[in-house]
With several copies, the nearest count.
Chain A
Amino acid sequence: MDNAMKVRLLETMLNIRKAELQLAILYKNGKVPCAAHLYEGQEAIAAGVCAQLRVDDCLTSTHRGHGHCIAKGMPMKEMIAEVCARKTGCCGGKGGTMHLFKPDIGVMGTIGIVGAGIPVATGIALAMKMQKTDRVAVSFFGDGAANNGAFHESLNLASVWKLPVIFVCENNRYATSVAVWRSTSVEKIGDRAASYSIPGVTVDGNCVDEVYAATEAALSRARTGQGPTLIEAVTYRVRGHYEGDDAAYRKQGELTEAREHDPIEYWKQKLIEDGVLREEDFAALAAKAEAEAEEAAAFAVDSPFPAPEEALILTAQI
């Protein structure tokens, strides 16, 4: 990884963080019409994976998908405006926080049904293979989704067909209020790869370099026709399940501990140690990201709502 990439990873993480924090404010101010699931604390995963994707590679994501969109290159404005239900959002206000699309840069949908994006990504990879490209599909999903049948069926199929897809399981230790150990029968979700005869790794999802390295290996497999890989990236959901959730179910001290292992802080220190970055560079990058996020938020709030009747556009005659 060269220095430019190192900085880019930091920038992406900062962009995601700042965008999410803006959304938290917008939510508090009543500008987001429904509960939203924020990605704070998991930025290293979206950043580390997407940094290596080409614009024509594709992803699917989940209810907690804002970060993946930003990392894949969606302008903050379009994401935030969509979450704020505006006409200028990436789906014109039809999708919302759990349904973000921008296919021309490979965002093939964040999906509100847990696990449902996994077979969809598998199908995207199938098309890529049948079309004889070297494009790659990535499916982001949570630890909770790894207990759903969609996970099992998709990984099996992708393996049998040697599809160019990377399954990225973000283990943030919770599925709503349920701690991962209470619902998941395996210590490392990455180990489930063995059931499908594909490589599986478990990395620290708060260390962007680890995520990056795992993705690099998976990508090279995928691009060269060797099939899928499962990456488990262990992280922690520092916010509630959704904005407004007080997360009273957390274990004592858990959150504080997690906050101490912040992915941005980790990477910043690393880059400073490596001499790639100075404190003031970081401050500048953070300020830039924050400014962009504020601007995007202002753009969203200033944008019009769609007209009521637009609801019926694209509904065809049925």
Chain B
Amino acid sequence: MARRIRFIEALREGMRQEMERDPSVFIMGEGVGPHGSAFKQTDGLCAQFGEERLRDTPISELAIAGTAVGAAMMGMRPIADLMWIDFSMLAMDQICNQAAKLRYISNGQVKVPLVYRMSTGKSKSNAAHHSGSFYSWFINTPGLKVVLPSTPNDAKGLIISAIRDDDPVIYLEHKLLFNVRGDVPEEPFAIPLGVAEVKREGTDLTIVATGAMVGFSLTAAEALAKEGISVEVIDPRTLMPYDGATILTSVRKTGNLLCVEEGFRYCGFGSEIIAFVVENAMDSLRRPPRQLTTMHTTIPFSPPMEDYVFPNPERVAAAVRALLKSEA
């Protein structure tokens, strides 16, 4: 039975249900225990499962990530909360050199079923060290899967899949989405990794957007509809492996592609999708594809500057208009 709950509740419910189902699942991170995490993602779970399974850690990102690897190899299913994605830079070796690789180099003798959860993206003046969205690094790393839900329903279905997956999964939580509400089934369900969702159908142009950019794009699509422009919005949901087929189908229909991407442009997910589409369906593109990303700068603190560098719904709409006006 579905009911309207917040993103963060859906995420929590997914974790709770998996912890009830599978005693090998546990959560570790700074403040995940009695305090219930930085954004209250694990609120109440410690009361239910105890401190053995909601393990507060020191500020030791490398050890958190590496301890998760060791535990996962032994049959546990750790969920390691690294708080902000920005802090994962301290744990890249364990994430990308160890978690991602040990199954392969051991020739399949070990597997590393774990989830690294990280909050990502813009919020209010989080500034240079707390606004990261460099998940393209994880996408670039063989052995990792990357998930970025945009709705409460996806948050729940994807965390469950991430936990059940036998390989390491990066699960990204966009800070602007925690309080967004949506319909979510009460019972456990899994959204398969690697499957996109068409969040809005349209005929004139395909937007590929993830995380908070999905909502921005839907808002823009609404406005553009009034101008007679019909936009299709696709949310890959899983960024690695991404659902190329759904994207190609859409582009073949609309003939136009805009990627709306919160990460940076160079070697980012937007560039990846554009490259993928032209390599595989250039003939179906009526105009050059475009991308709207965060400007290539360290993130400034002050709101006017911060707002200036990020995408927003108006900018998405403007990018669509510009693209459709460009030479065919």
Contact = CB atoms under 8 A, between A and B. Distances in A.
Touch between chains A and B, by CB atoms below 8 Å = yes
Interface stretch (B13-21, B97-105, B182-190, B268-276): B97-105
B129 A34 contact: no
Contacts, number: 272
Contacts of B108: 313-314
A176 B56 CA distance: 11
Best-surrounded residue of B64, B144, B297, B307 (most CB of chain A within 10 A): B297
Contacts of A317: 194, 241
Interface in B217-274: 240-241
Interface stretch (A88-96, A204-212, A282-290): A88-96
A156 interface: yes
A309 B127 contact: no
Nearest to A304: B304
Contacts of B72: 123
A125 interface: yes
Contacts of B59: 114-115, 144-145, 147-148, 175, 183
Report, as a range, how many residues of chain A touch the other chain: 35 or more
A305 to B, nearest CB: 5
A318 B301 contact: no
Contact of B125 (A60, A96, A123): A96
A249 to B, nearest CB: 5
B127 A308 contact: no
B137 interface: no
B302 A119 contact: no
A149 B103 CA distance: 24
Contacts of A316: 167
Contact of B127 (A34, A161, A307): A34
B296 interface: yes
Contacts of A126: 67, 70-71, 76
A131 interface: yes
A113 B126 contact: no
A127 B127 contact: no
Contacts of B75: 127, 131
A189 B303 CA distance: 39
A103 B297 contact: no
B104 A314 contact: yes
A33 interface: yes
Interface of A: 33-34, 58, 60, 82, 85-87, 90-99, 101-104, 108-109, 111-116, 118-128, 130-131, 137, 144-145, 147-150, 153-154, 156-157, 160-161, 175-178, 182-184, 249, 305-318
Given A116-B93, A124-B70, A183-B59, 14 more contacts: A33-B301, A34-B123, A99-B128, A111-B98, A113-B89, A116-B98, A119-B94, A130-B26, A131-B75, A148-B90, A157-B60, A157-B63, A311-B305, A312-B297
20 contacts: A34-B124, A85-B301, A86-B302, A91-B106, A95-B128, A96-B301, A102-B109, A108-B110, A116-B66, A119-B66, A126-B67, A148-B61, A161-B55, A182-B56, A184-B58, A310-B305, A312-B297, A314-B107, A315-B104, A316-B167
